[in-house]
Amino acid sequence: MTFKTDAEIVELLEQYEKDTKALKHEALKMCWYMRGGLSYDDAMALTNQERIMITDIVKSNMETTKKTGMPFF
């Protein structure tokens, strides 16, 4: 990848920063939902596919909780 201007480099760095922040937020959210069953370091070491799978499981469990009226928190 070649850049023509400094502005393109700045734009790329800003996108990297945004992506990094989103990844950290997702990892911390998984740690919270897992109630200590997943450490932050372990969450950060997950592959993208593994993070997607865990997120899908959490969403499914949340839907089940809502449908059954069982307490979540």
**10-residue averages of pLDDT along the chain (73 residues):** 83 96 95 91 96 92 88 67
pLDDT for 61: 87
pLDDT for 70: 82
pLDDT for 53: 95
Q: Where does residue 71 fall: left (phi above 0), alpha (psi -120 to 50 degrees), or beta otherwise?
A: beta
Q: Where does residue 2 fall: left (phi above 0), alpha (psi -120 to 50 degrees), or beta otherwise?
A: beta
